[in-house]
A = this chain, B = another copy of it.
Amino acid sequence: MQQLKARIQRDGVVLNDQVLKVDEFINHQIDPDLMVDIGREFAHLFEQSRITKVLTIESSGIAPALCAAHELGVPMVFARKKKSLTMREQLLIESVFSFTKQEENEIAVSRKYIVPGDRVLIIDDFLANGDAALGLARIVEQAGALVVGIGILIEKTFQPGRQRLEQNGYRVESLARIASLANQTIKYMDD
């Protein structure tokens, strides 16, 4: 998606060979117009897939997942990173390792909101090692629903996330595929 790639070039900050910071327009401040366009792009990519739910994980996935769900005309569900006092029903729970934060988190979704027969599009901001997306996919499958695809804003192709997701049979669509962050330079796969 050219618009996202240009914005990453303009406002992304390369912290080191592994870490790209996009707090300017995705992870802290959010550009609503860009999110609407990202939602349209995902809806277009998956328009043949008869999606019934969009699933993401708090917090940075919420904006793009909401916009994709709005375009697709379906509800959006976000997984919680820990249980809150007002969430008591039976939960679908998976354990996910966050590479960025170097910690293991439980993520949880109520069994009420992903149900057998659902055709689920998973959305997340980054794809690196794939742990978050795999955790969300396991939650969908625990529920007896189908993972129709995984939509990613920014994929780091030099990390094994896509390979792990595709080995599990999932369709992965990334809007910006970064091949390298070496030398403070963002290089895309298709450059």
**A101:B77 contact, CB within 8 angstroms:** no
Does A77 lie within 8 Å of B36, measured CB to CB?
no
Q: Does A163 contact B (CB under 8 A)?
A: no
Measured CA separation A67–B36 after assembly (Å): 10
B-contacting residues, A60-114, CB 8 Å: 62-63, 66-67, 69-70, 74-78, 80, 84-87, 100-102, 109-110, 112-113
Q: CB distance A80 to B32 under 8 Å?
A: no
Number of A interface residues in the complex (CB < 8 A): 39
Query: Which of A23-31, A137-145, A183-191 forms part of the interface with chain B?
Result: A23-31
From 145 to 167 in chain A, residues with beta carbon under 8 angstroms from any chain B beta carbon are: none
Contact residues in B for A19 (Cβ distance below 8 Å): 86
Min distance, Cβ A159 to any Cβ of chain B, angstroms: 15
On A, residues with C-beta under 8 Å from B are 15, 19, 21, 23-24, 27-33, 35-36, 58-59, 62-63, 66-67, 69-70, 74-78, 80, 84-87, 100-102, 109-110, 112-113
